[in-house]
Chains A and B, each alone.
Chain A
């Protein structure tokens, strides 16, 4: 039976539901989703519950990092809010997998870290933009971004750099259209796209030689 809208509203404020959400990590994908979902207490009980804090180890940029998180904590929030010291290269911009600013590599493949639970990222090799290069020793994509001014405010930049770095490993000699396609999951607001494309193509060229 479909519950009425009002009943759902009541459920929202029921601590039992809160506990449930905490347990299965639904809220982990962003509070925005939790705003729109609700279950009855009975429905909640039927599901496997995992609550409290979980102590996990994440492999971040080649080092094992112990961290204690709630099961619902996203990988992004674990990196930014729980690891000590924090890893803040991946940015929190939308928290619902629409903008790409939180992109990290999981075993070399780009993923939105706001859509991955930290507890699901154990036993994966997590690479953030910090793991790709440093100001003193940038990778080819990072160097090309600086050279071609492919950034302005820079808040989307870690996501673009991470996405393109992974893409060039897969396709070392892309066309312009392939570069556009590769970063269609990343938004920039300042308007750096033309120079992001230039930088990606230049990085490909510099590593190809």
Chain B
């Protein structure tokens, strides 16, 4: 028998739990990482580029129309595709007559949708490819479809009735998704409360409304390879399924995402748009561009899950919450929906919750920036406010009383100061005159950790050029920019000295951008590659600098120096071999972390004669470990507040119960936040967070603004609107029904 060979002692390992994003939804998995992986980022206030403000590197391309998006791709012989949508909320397609459509000059292919039973209005029935988008539209209108129309239900409260039409045959529209806690204990605890508040909170379905609609250009002309230009959040989420459709191997399909016009959680995978584009391209052996129309985008590209939450909480006079009973319905249409469990971030004593998915004949909700959190936050923050008024306690103090995490305390104090909380009239609706101002606040949390999915290469050429390459995508979050900056800082160069190559599936692997996981997944790999490039460079030039150890070589200000000797960057790189040097970076758990905190305050003005709500000022404070770029981070905080504000006051899908159709599938009727409604906005980075680790912040900053706005509305006019959005009719109805002027 052979003796076992002595092996080198393995590096110490540790197990950690990290998020992995599947279709935009975070799932936690356990992985093993090195316990000690190398040098860290250093103190957050010691950086030369990171944690500073610097402009985004693709800015000049984007402001001049030079940046090429998927929608801008135009290839020789390219066909344009359009989709025929079903006008019924529930139907069977009994026949599809393509005769008239196929006779239209310029129409090259017509294919049916893979399913014949349609369960929501707007579901695709067929797709057409033609030489112009106009002709493709003609062809779609010329298709003759016969439907067997079936009964439908599109409103949650209607779907729950025993006689409601079944969304899926033989299955209840109501599906239990879990119970948590002890109902008896909660019931007993209510008996000890000094006050009890009960409320039903409803959040509407809102749309991602990405300005670049979903779509792809599939360039397959027969042969062994294909290229796909995709508007996607996941460069690496498309090739496998596309290859199946095209009859190619996965590696024969290249996916390119140079620039993309917004996703917010809705753009992962091949999707129906990609499936149709692949099939049409395969059939015609021509490049096919299928970009959804704005109508398509509203009716079949996804939406945020609605919610219906029945909450009951008991509180003691000193502000201690003793019990919560929650019944949470996720309104995800055909899908399961999403909603964080109550009591969300608060300590509420003995709690009990039941969670259900309530199905309707609407397209499935999909991941949208912080899936499930804004819904839960809106309900619990409304409840918190109602409890605070009930026991006459300051809402900020009341929150601190029931939040264990000290980070929230400091953020509440900092943001309260910024908005001028001391100006707040404790009497709701108590200010004089028809234009009443009010203040409100709310709190939110998210994970924002990374995973070991990114492979990064840094190449230094003999002419001094530095290129960092990884297949990741930039959604407008500034990924390109910080990728460059990390390398530039490590090598003591400026941002201009480094170029990045991203957005291509032939480059190193990268994770899909969902759940704030991009920065914490990508930046450790970039940093690792940059450190290794620095070490390679240091070894290379050591003979020119009196043979220092690699870690003694200083890279700064475009120079490499040691032992009192210094080389300009290009002098140093001239000593490299012809092929230059390339380092390879892997993810390191120690360079990232998980768990963010955010607090939002809002000031609004309510016109009690018209019910109109005008946002005046919003403040959001967000922690996120090491801010990679303060400028783009502040922009993202603004963006989170604005999207949340839209959901609070204006946005919402309107469904017609009888027709089962969306009534407002366009920007003329679906009200996005616009320039005239913008309040003064103050994005604050919480620099008291000293974690020397990168954490994603995109989700964190969209969560609490909803609660802050509805609570400000209550403080302003005394009307508690429990159903979003807070439109003037609801305010006027509340005033007409004698909203109590509540004194605290």
Contact = CB atoms under 8 A, between A and B. Distances in A.
A13 to B, nearest CB: 5
B476 A86 contact: no
A91 B56 CA distance: 21
A195 B211 contact: no
A154 B66 contact: no
B169 interface: no
Interface string A180-192: 1101101111111
Contact of A151 (B100, B141, B260, B476): B476
A27 interface: yes
A104 B127 CA distance: 31
Nearest to A194: B681
B293 A95 contact: yes
Contact of A80 (B72, B134, B264, B477): B72
B295 A32 contact: yes
Interface stretch (B179-187, B195-203, B629-637): B629-637
A113 interface: no
Contacts of B680: 194
Given A94-B294, A181-B676, A191 B59 contact: no
A15 B100 contact: yes
A135 B56 CA distance: 13
A93 B59 contact: no
B74 A147 contact: no
B138 A151 contact: no
B133 interface: yes
Contact of B60 (A12, A98, A146, A153): A146
A181 B631 CA distance: 26
Contacts of B260: 153
Interface residues of A, number: 72
Q: Which of B60, B100, B475 has the most CB of A within 10 A?
A: B60
A129 interface: yes
Interface string B61-83: 11111111101101000001010
B600 to A, nearest CB: 14
Contact of B635 (A27, A31, A72, A195): A195
Contact of A91 (B66, B140, B261, B475): B261
A101 B640 CA distance: 21
Interface in B657-683: 666-668, 672-676, 678, 680-681
B294 A154 contact: no
A145 B635 CA distance: 12
Given A88-B72, A94-B294, A191-B640, A27 B137 contact: yes
Contacts of A34: 137, 141
A94 B104 contact: no
Given A146-B56, A189-B210, A88 B640 contact: no
B144 interface: yes
Given A32-B293, A72-B134, A146 B55 contact: yes
A153 B261 contact: yes
Contact of B668 (A96, A130, A149): A96
A27 B138 CA distance: 9
A86 B82 CA distance: 21
Interface string B211-251: 11100000000000000000000000000000000000000
Interface in B31-90: 55-56, 58-69, 71-72, 74, 80, 82
Interface in A86-119: 86-96, 98-99, 101
A165 B674 CA distance: 19
Interface string B456-478: 00000000000000000001111
B641 interface: yes
A194 B639 CA distance: 9
**Chief secondary structure at chain A's binding surface:** loop
A13 B632 contact: no
Contacts of A138: 60, 63-64
B358 interface: no
Nearest to A193: B678
B132 A158 contact: no
B572 interface: no
Interface in B131-164: 132-134, 137-138, 140-144
Given A132-B64, A149-B631, A101 B74 contact: no
B64 A98 contact: no
A134 B66 contact: yes
Contact of A18 (B132, B142, B144): B142
A155 B261 contact: yes
A133 B66 CA distance: 10
B338 interface: no
Contact of A157 (B63, B72, B208): B63
B303 interface: no
B106 to A, nearest CB: 10
Contacts of B720: none
Looking at B213, B261, B666, B680, the one whose CB has the most chain A CB atoms below 10 A away is B261
Interface string B701-744: 00000000000000000000000000000000000000000000
Interface in B103-144: 103-104, 132-134, 137-138, 140-144
Contacts of B653: none
Contact of A189 (B71, B103, B672): B672
B568 to A, nearest CB: 26
Interface in A152-209: 152-158, 161, 179-181, 183-184, 186-197
Contacts of B133: 77, 81
Nearest to B630: A149
Pick the most buried of B58, B212, B640, B675: most chain A CB atoms within 10 A of its CB. Answer: B675
A77 B133 CA distance: 9
Contact of A155 (B63, B104, B262): B262
B687 to A, nearest CB: 19
Contacts of A73: 132, 134
B642 interface: yes
A148 to B, nearest CB: 9
A129 B64 contact: yes
Nearest to B635: A149
Contact of A99 (B103, B211, B634): B211
Interface of A: 12-13, 15, 18, 21-22, 27-28, 31-32, 34-35, 70, 72-73, 77, 80-81, 86-96, 98-99, 101, 128-130, 132-135, 138, 141-142, 145-147, 149, 151-158, 161, 179-181, 183-184, 186-197
17 contacts: A18-B138, A32-B293, A92-B291, A96-B294, A98-B668, A129-B65, A146-B59, A151-B62, A153-B260, A155-B211, A183-B675, A187-B211, A189-B209, A189-B262, A192-B639, A195-B635, A197-B675
Interface of B: 55-56, 58-69, 71-72, 74, 80, 82, 100, 103-104, 132-134, 137-138, 140-144, 208-213, 259-262, 264, 291, 293-295, 475-478, 631-632, 634-636, 638-643, 666-668, 672-676, 678, 680-681
Given A27-B134, A88-B71, 10 more contacts: A15-B142, A31-B293, A135-B60, A149-B59, A153-B261, A153-B475, A155-B211, A157-B63, A181-B676, A192-B638
